[in-house]
Structure 1
Amino acid sequence: MGKTNYEYLNPLVIQRADPWIYKHTDGYYYFVASVPAYNRIEIRRAKTIQGLSFAPPRTVWRKHDTGEMSKLIWAPELHFIQGKWYVYFAATHTEEIIDGLFTHRMYVIENDSENPMNSNWVEKGQVKTNMETFSLDATTFEHRNELYYVWAQKDPAIKGNSNLYIAKMENPWTIKGEPVLISKPEYEWETRGFWVNEGPAILKKNGRIFLTFSASATDENYCMGLLTASEDADLLDSKSWIKSPEPVFKSDPENDQFGPGHNSFTVSEDGKEDILIYHCRDYTEIIGDPLYDPNRHTKAQVIHWNEDGTPVFGKPVPYSKL
């Protein structure tokens, strides 16, 4: 698998769940994540991944006082698409759980300036799908001149909280065609506490498209699964996506790392290493609902590769000893 020169002081950013790091052509790493208050979207940037630990966050959007984007702002992702910046996120109008679920929908904001740290953000509204149900954790990626949207959503006809879907996009805030179901909770490790597939992230490498996702409840049972498709496959054919039968990243009690997941991918400063970004806790004794425990911390570690071109995520690295 080879050695790497990249090691990061972890946790990278404390009390930030659902982390997303994007390295832009301007040389900056941009970081967004869920804040414990779930009330805003903030961005920070640095010239190195480790520098994000000390970079001051800037709030670029706040929740509405009332209405559809007024509660529980979750899992923002920052993307640069066709010369503009976009943040995808989930929000709702109430903290109530209705029929066993929250009531989130997916939204997007746009910024056409060079620097996304400014306040020139425009709301583009809800990203609509073919179902008006609980939906969240949208990500996008481009492949062969097509823009794709992948997200988690509840289908009332399928057991569980959320499944994973893919669709092409007409533009960065509108999907086109019929969404395709590519994964639903089915294995034991996907159904602990809750039946969940969520938090998709895309890594294109070695002729394949790797799609990681998170499964089960957000406590120590939370873990990462993997779907794999050939880069030549029809990505809108559910048969193109092969699910690994075991989780690829999970809790490591030996190092007190619990519930790793909701990951993203970035690259090292020299562009030679792929870096896994994820959140994790260092204890299991959560008081109350795990959702409101603030201590999911952002971490970073190098991904290794098998000779057959598949990723090795290893174990969540222990917290660094200073």
Structure 2
Amino acid sequence: MIETTSKYNNPIVLQRADPWVYKHTDGYYYFTGSVPGYQEIEVRRAKSLNDLENSEKATVWKAHAEGPQSQLIWAPEIHFVQGKWYIYFAAAPSSHPKNHIFQHRMFAIECGDENPLTGKWEEKGQVKTQQESFCLDATVFEHNDKLYYVWAQKEPAIPGNSNLYISEMENPWTLKGKQLLLTIPEYGWEKIGFLVNEGPAVIIRNNKVFITYSASATDGNYCMGLLWADADADLLDGYSWTKSKEPVFKSAPENGQFGPGHNSFTVSEDGKEDVLIYHARPYTEMDGDPLDNPDRHARAQVFTWDESGFPVFGKPIANNR
């Protein structure tokens, strides 16, 4: 059963869309997300999710004055891979301001120090895919001694804004081998406003690899879908994957939460419960350009699993702070 109240003070962090939380072996939750203005990457950490709003934080990277990493710094994710910290993010060039066609590419930065808030970060450059086209929302995961990369990208030959892809990695900033198209927007709930599959996040449980993703425009129609494969399957074989025909997490007007999505996964402070991290808006009507409106807030809620071993997310719960 999904609990209707929360142990977390929602929202857990104000004005941070695309929230990413990683709980490290040092007991800290490391948090990052899109910073309003989209010109920097901020990392914060705390020993509890409720403390993230007022926790220690640091700006670890700033947009360049010009060039391919100078505009619209979106959806950073912090990971600890092969003994080092990595942040993956999307950035647009200075020659393409936000009122032009988006031209984002994906980039990685690396930190070898113990504390990523105070450590030195090094740019590893663009994470290049087989196509040079709009791409964003990269995530990584390790499974069966392999490192995988999942991301959203525009395919010129496929109608729509972005699809999801997966590839194995040679190292944490370089892809290798086959790049598999995982999913395209095909159902009605994935094509409202924009034809979008983006914001993938991976959780491995119950002998399955699950990938959640977000679909449709970033208004009240934004919602989450689900892909899954057996844990021992070839993850680069399209036949290994199944896709839910319905969204698994969507707006809850009765709780005042709209457009939930762009999620990540973590565990509770005692490690006994799985926790969904996501953003949502507290209303549907907004003034001006949604990009300039920092009204999406980071949220956390416990979720459960059904008898078949699938996640049960329930619905976005009401604010309690």
Where does residue 45 of structure 1 map in the other structure? 45
3-state SS in 2 of match to 1:276: strand
TM-superposed CA distance for 1:305, in Å, is: 1.0
User: Which consecutive unaligned segments of at least 5 residues does structure 1 have?
Assistant: none
The verdict on how the C-alpha distance between 1:194 and 1:4 changes in structure 2, with shifts beyond 3 A counting, is: closer
Moved more, 192-201 or 5-14: 5-14
Where does residue 87 of structure 2 map in the other structure? 87
The verdict on how the C-alpha distance between 1:4 and 1:282 changes in structure 2, with shifts beyond 3 A counting, is: closer
**In the alignment, is the contact (CA less than 8 A) between 2:278 and 2:300 conserved in 1?**
yes
What TM-score comes out, normalization by structure 2 length? 0.97
Q: Does 1:319 align with 2:304?
A: no
Question: How far apart, CA to CA, are the structure 2 residues paired with 1:238 and 1:24?
Answer: 32
CA RMSD of aligned residues (A): 1.4
Question: How far apart, CA to CA, are the structure 1 residues paired with 2:293 and 2:241?
Answer: 34
Count of residue correspondences: 319
Question: How far apart, CA to CA, are the structure 1 residues paired with 2:164 and 2:27?
Answer: 32
Where does residue 188 of structure 1 map in the other structure? 188
Question: How far apart, CA to CA, are the structure 2 residues paired with 1:84 and 1:96?
Answer: 33
**In the alignment, is the contact (CA less than 8 A) between 1:17 and 1:296 conserved in 2?**
yes
**In the alignment, is the contact (CA less than 8 A) between 2:15 and 2:297 conserved in 1?**
yes
Question: How far apart, CA to CA, are the structure 2 residues paired with 1:263 and 1:270?
Answer: 21
Q: Output one character per residue of 1:153-212: Cα deviation in whole Å (capped at 9) or x when no partner.
A: 000000100000000000000000131001000000000000000000001000101100
Question: How far apart, CA to CA, are the structure 1 residues paired with 2:152 and 2:3?
Answer: 35
TM-superposed CA distance for 1:288, in Å, is: 2.4
Q: Which amino acid aligns with 1:36?
A: P
Where does residue 163 of structure 1 map in the other structure? 163
Where does residue 15 of structure 1 map in the other structure? 15
Q: Which amino acid aligns with 2:302?
A: V
TM-superposed CA distance for 1:97, in Å, is: 5.1
Question: How far apart, CA to CA, are the structure 2 residues paired with 1:307 and 1:146?
Answer: 29
User: Which consecutive unaligned segments of at least 5 residues does structure 2 have?
Assistant: none
Correspondences of 1:190-269 after superposition (within 5 Å): 190-269=190-269
Question: How far apart, CA to CA, are the structure 2 residues paired with 1:6 and 1:114?
Answer: 32
Moved more, 288-297 or 5-14: 5-14
Where does residue 71 of structure 1 map in the other structure? 71
What TM-score comes out, normalization by structure 1 length? 0.97
Where does residue 58 of structure 2 map in the other structure? 58
**In the alignment, is the contact (CA less than 8 A) between 1:97 and 1:103 conserved in 2?**
no
Question: How far apart, CA to CA, are the structure 1 residues paired with 2:207 and 2:2?
Answer: 20
3-state SS in 1 of match to 2:51: helix
Where does residue 289 of structure 1 map in the other structure? 289
TM-superposed CA distance for 1:291, in Å, is: 2.3
3-state SS in 1 of match to 2:169: strand
TM-superposed CA distance for 1:241, in Å, is: 1.3
**In the alignment, is the contact (CA less than 8 A) between 1:164 and 1:181 conserved in 2?**
yes
Question: How far apart, CA to CA, are the structure 2 residues paired with 1:165 and 1:58?
Answer: 31
Where does residue 115 of structure 1 map in the other structure? 115
**In the alignment, is the contact (CA less than 8 A) between 1:61 and 1:119 conserved in 2?**
no
TM-superposed CA distance for 1:25, in Å, is: 0.5
The verdict on how the C-alpha distance between 1:53 and 1:43 changes in structure 2, with shifts beyond 3 A counting, is: same
**In the alignment, is the contact (CA less than 8 A) between 2:257 and 2:318 conserved in 1?**
yes
TM-superposed CA distance for 1:292, in Å, is: 2.1
Where does residue 302 of structure 1 map in the other structure? 302
Q: Which amino acid aligns with 2:46?
A: A
TM-superposed CA distance for 1:4, in Å, is: 10
TM-superposed CA distance for 1:308, in Å, is: 1.2
**In the alignment, is the contact (CA less than 8 A) between 2:261 and 2:280 conserved in 1?**
yes
Q: Does 1:271 align with 2:271?
A: yes
